[in-house]
Amino acid sequence: MEKYSLDPIDQTILQLLQQDAKMGTKEIAARVGLTQTPTFERIKRLERWGVIKKYSIQIDRKKLGVELGVFCLVSLKNHSIETLKTFEDAIREFDEVSNCYYIAGTFDYSLYIEVKDMEEYQRFLTLKLASISNIAQVQSAFVMNTIKEA
């Protein structure tokens, strides 16, 4: 993977866009001390390089009735390529899973699950997650409060 060297202006542009992806080039330019054209060119260069992968929004899930966040750690019985692929393919189909990471350590995967309440999480565990073969162990940790979010 190629590494790119970013100057302080590029770094500031990235910070501003992380705070507000809808921030316009005019406002970014004013904050970094450039005119619009070089600011726009810098943003496009960062996109071409793949430093900026996508623009996204942050949703207040509570306003949509999603009250419970769960970190779910999963270990598999075996680690064949086929078993890993089967698990990962199944996880991609579950709307409740917003993030999934293949990790090193005692567990194989860390899932972040967002559901309405404990009842819905129990349904997810018993009807969806348990339907995947070769799961050896599941451990859940429930989010009490979010301190920092990307």
Same domain? For 72 and 36 the reply is: no
Q: Are residues 23 and 65 in the same domain?
A: no
pLDDT band at 60 (very low <50, low <70, confident <90, very high): confident
Is the pLDDT at 99 greater than 80? The verdict is: yes
103 and 33 within one domain: no
Q: What pLDDT was estimated at residue 57?
A: 84
The verdict on residue 2 lying in a domain is no
Number of structural domains, the chain? 2
Does residue 65 share a domain with residue 20? no
Please report how many Cα atoms fall inside a 13 Å half-sphere around the Cα of residue 76, on the Cβ side: 20
**DSSP code per residue over 74-96:** EEES---HHHHHHHHHHHHT-TT
33 and 67 housed in the same domain: no
Q: In a 10 Å sphere around its CB, with 0-12 CB exposed, 13-18 middle and 19+ buried, how is residue 147 labelled?
A: exposed
Query: Does 148 map to a domain?
Result: no
Average pLDDT over residues 77-86: 96
Domain at 73, CATH number: 3.30.70.920
pLDDT score recorded for residue 62: 85
For residue 55, being part of any structural domain is answered with no
* CATH assignment at residue 17: 1.10.10.10
Instruction: Let me know whether 24 and 89 are in one domain.
Output: no
Q: Write the pLDDT tens digit of every residue in 102-146.
A: 999 999 999 999 999 999 999 999 999 999 999 999 999 999 998
pLDDT for 150 beyond 80: no
Model confidence pLDDT, tens digit, residues 30-53: 999 999 999 999 999 999 999 999
Asked, for residue 123, whether it belongs to a domain, the answer is yes
Both 85 and 138 in one domain: the answer is yes
Residue 136 shares a structural domain with residue 90: yes
Give the chain's mean pLDDT. 95
Q: What is the pTM of this model?
A: 0.78
Average pLDDT (10-14) is 97
- Cα four-point dihedral sign 102, 105, 108, 113: negative
Q: Do 89 and 17 share a structural domain?
A: no
Give me the percent of the chain exceeding a pLDDT of 90.
Answer: 86
* Tokens 């390089």, located at residue: 49
Residues 24, 66, single domain; the answer is no
Residue 100 counted as domain residue: yes
Domain that holds residue 99: 61-142
Do 16 and 65 share a domain, yes or no?
no
H or E stretch at 18? helix 8-19
